[in-house]
Structure 1
Amino acid sequence: MGRLKEGPIVITRRGKPAGVLIAPEQYEELRRTQACLRVLDIARSLQGSGLSAADLFRTSRELLERQE
């Protein structure tokens, strides 16, 4: 597991990539980044809808919770 600090480890099956092993910190960072990108995507789709900031936040949160 010490090698994970050097970077991701590619797991192969019959010589072809089958998975990637990453450190837990990297995984959490990827999840946070993915969530931020989803929020931006939702915000773009709701842009111009006339919602207030509070409505936009609530609607975005509801949509994100449905996607998980």
Structure 2
Amino acid sequence: MLRSAAQWELERLQSEWRGDLAQLELRMTKWMVTTAMGSIAVALLVAVPALHGAAGLLLLAGTALQIYAVARM
């Protein structure tokens, strides 16, 4: 009886741990995607002087919306 209760608790903890690991992987993926999109937007603004002004603001707004959408997933 004691062995089966301990085994059940071990299985429950392993299942919980797998769920936590899956959540961590999802959060890391979101972080990598948002970081990459932000880096691309900054690189474009720095590399292409023509993007300064209204077009640059539109690019930044679009990137911010994409980052927000990924973060909400």
TM-score of the two chains, using structure 2 as the length reference:
0.46
- More RCO (CA 8 Å, sep 6+): 2
Structure holding more strand per residue: 1
Specify which structure has the higher proportion of helix.
2
Larger radius of gyration between Structure 1 and Structure 2 = 2
